[in-house]
C-alpha cells in the first residue's frame, strides 16, 4: 500500500522565508534544495514529481517533507549528529 505524503500548507511568513532561502546569494545549496522541496510540496506536487524536477531522490523529498510537516521551518535544520564534535577532532 503506498504511503500518503503529508500535505503542506504554508503561512505567508513561511513562504517568504523559504523564497528568501531559495534566492539568497550566500545560502548553501543544501538549504536552497530543502526550501524548493517544501515550496513545490505546498503547491501540491507529488514527491516523485518534485524529485524529478529537482534531480534528487524521492526519499530525500519524502524526508524533508515529513520533517517540515512535523516541525515547520525548524525541521529543515540539520539534526545533531552523534560522535565527537568536529572542533574537538581537530585538536
CB atoms within 10 A of CB 45: 19
Per-residue pLDDT of the chain (91 residues; tens, 9 = 90+): 567 888 899 999 999 999 999 998 887 899 999 999 999 999 999 999 999 999 999 999 999 999 999 999 998 988 877 887 766 656 5
User: Quick one: CA torsion of 42, 43, 46, 48, rounded to 10 degrees?
Assistant: -100
How much is the pTM? 0.83
Residue that is written with C-alpha cell 528568501 in the block: 20
The sign of the CA dihedral 21, 33, 27, 74 is: positive
Query: Using CB atoms within 10 A of its CB, is residue 33 exposed (0-12), middle (13-18) or buried (19+)?
Result: buried
- The domain ranges of the chain are 12-76
Amino acid at each position: 500500500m503506498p504511503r500518503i505524503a503529508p500535505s503542506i500548507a504554508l503561512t505567508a511568513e513561511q513562504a517568504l522565508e523559504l523564497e528568501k532561502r531559495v534566492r539568497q546569494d550566500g545560502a548553501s545549496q543544501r538549504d536552497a534544495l530543502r526550501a524548493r522541496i517544501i515550496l513545490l510540496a505546498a503547491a501540491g506536487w507529488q514527491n516523485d514529481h518534485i524529485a524529478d524536477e529537482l534531480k534528487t531522490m524521492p526519499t530525500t523529498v519524502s524526508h524533508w517533507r515529513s520533517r517540515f510537516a512535523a516541525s515547520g521551518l525548524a525541521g529543515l535544520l540539520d539534526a545533531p549528529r552523534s560522535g565527537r564534535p568536529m572542533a574537538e577532532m581537530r585538536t
